[in-house]
Amino acid sequence: MWTDRRSILRNLTGTLCAIAAGRLPSASAQEVSTSLPRVYTPTRTRSLKLSYPWRQQITTTLFWVGENPSEKNPTPNHASSWDPEWAKNYGGYDNPDPKKRAWDYRPAAFIPKQNPFYCALPFNDITEPDIARRVIPWRKHGPISRSSRSLCKSQWIAIRHGRKICYAQWEDCGPFLTDDWSYVFGYARPKNRENNAAGLDVSPSVRDYLKIRSGIRCDWRFVNLAEVPPGPWRRYGANNHFATTTESKEDQAARIERLKKAREEWLKNSR
């Protein structure tokens, strides 16, 4: 049996060598080729889907639009790294007081003009253009934001604490640093050593949804638009890829009140 197998292998090897050297008649070459397994080459290139890793156990601190400077946060948040009139364009002071928040995680005093689910990471592609061109993974896919030349502004991230995941848009730079690309786009730990090496700032809406406090450790990663599921983070904002921007403030307010009353009625009847 082994002799037969060796003989078959020798004959097949010799035939293939003859085909490669052009010494085998075309009919024999065709006969041998039909006996070999076929390999199919795809005619279409596969669509590339970027996948981003989790940055785990990152100290996460709270910040908000309109925040005044303090000992722990010396930079006021009336402006952002990409928007000198951030508070005005947001629509007002994003009051972090839990008693001043609406049931759908927005500030209760007004309908925000931008997504109340926002965050800050310590890199600014506008002030670090050479590094940005080299490290931003989605730079070849065009700007994410519709209102800024920054490729980072309004990019979506997922933030995880325990079993809960929240989604927010990158709208400012920090905490403290704006050049920590090896952490934001790599695998290094945050360079910042303030506030227990904080590496992520989140808005009051993110805090309330995840039920966390400032200084807790969370995981985060970048996500594509297709990975952002339905949730309160899709509801508001001209910078929000999912929000309806043609609705007037009055229509928005009326719709929110209807939803609020319907929710309260449901809670009342379910007791």
Higher pLDDT, 91 or 11: 91
The residue ranges of DSSP E strands in 83-232, in sequence order, are: 118-121, 156-161, 164-173, 200-202, 216-222
By percentage, how much of the chain surpasses pLDDT 90? 62
Q: Does domain 55-256 have CATH number 2.40.40.10?
A: yes
Q: What is the pTM of this model?
A: 0.71
Query: Which pLDDT band holds residue 50 (cuts at 50, 70, 90)?
Result: low
pLDDT of residue 166: 98
What average pLDDT does the structure give for the chain? 82
Q: Is the pLDDT of residue 39 over 50?
A: no
pLDDT band at residue 264 using 50, 70 and 90 as cut-offs: confident
- Taking residues 41-65, what's their average pLDDT? 75
Burial category of 65 from C-beta neighbours within 10 Å (exposed 0-12, middle 13-18, buried 19 and up): buried
pLDDT digits (tens, 9 = 90+) for 71-102: 666 676 789 999 999 999 999 999 999 999 99
